[in-house]
Amino acid sequence: MPAELLPGLGHLLQGWVVKKTSSLAPQRLTCDEVEQLAAASIETLAQKALGEAHQEWGSLADLTQGWIVQRVQGTAPSVLGAEDYRQLVRYALECFTQRDSGTELPSQETGTSVQDLIANENIDENEVLPDGRNVRAILMEDPFYFAREHLALSL
């Protein structure tokens, strides 16, 4: 079911070749692995939104611990990092956001990102919080900042 919630995730990851352990040969991601990544991306999105991640990248970090990935043919393989996790969580957020608004779901070709969604909002470039931080900069770095603040104040 998570793959149904994140259509196109397999396309986003189609070039990935993964070596999960030193005893296994590198291989392309299987449909089951894409399904697991979709589920972990959704779980991590929820964990980050609610501030419940036991580590920075929650379920994604747990699932992919020790993976070495070659993202595109001809590039050097490396371990998954924060930018990879951020891309997966952004994709999950974009799928849910666009599904709720009734617009077309994102794909790798559309170039739609959280930053694009934030850029389209009517947020004044000079809008700042009482402590002097720029609102747009906060949202670009952490799209869930205000959601967590709202939840904290509501509880």
Predicted local distance difference test score (pLDDT) of residue 100 = 53
48-85, pLDDT tens digit by residue? 878 776 678 888 888 999 899 988 888 889 998 888 88
* Residue 20 contacts residue 76 (beta carbons within 8 Å): no
Q: Specify which residues 155 forms β-bridges with.
A: none
Query: What's CA 102's distance to the chain center, in Å?
Result: 20
Res 121 pLDDT > 70? no
Round the CA-based radius of gyration of the chain to a whole number and report it.
Answer: 17
Res 123 pLDDT > 80? no
Mean pLDDT of 36-52: 85
Predicted local distance difference test score (pLDDT) of residue 108 = 46
Mean model confidence pLDDT for the chain: 78
Q: Kindly report the pTM of this predicted structure.
A: 0.59
Provide the residue count of the chain. Answer: 155
* Residue 34 contacts residue 9 (beta carbons within 8 Å): yes
Predicted local distance difference test score (pLDDT) of residue 113 = 58
Mean pLDDT of 9-20: 83
Mean pLDDT of 114-123: 64
**In this structure, what token pair is assigned to residue 18?**
């993964």
Res 111 pLDDT > 60? no
Lowest mean pLDDT among 3-7, 59-63, 138-142, 149-153: 3-7
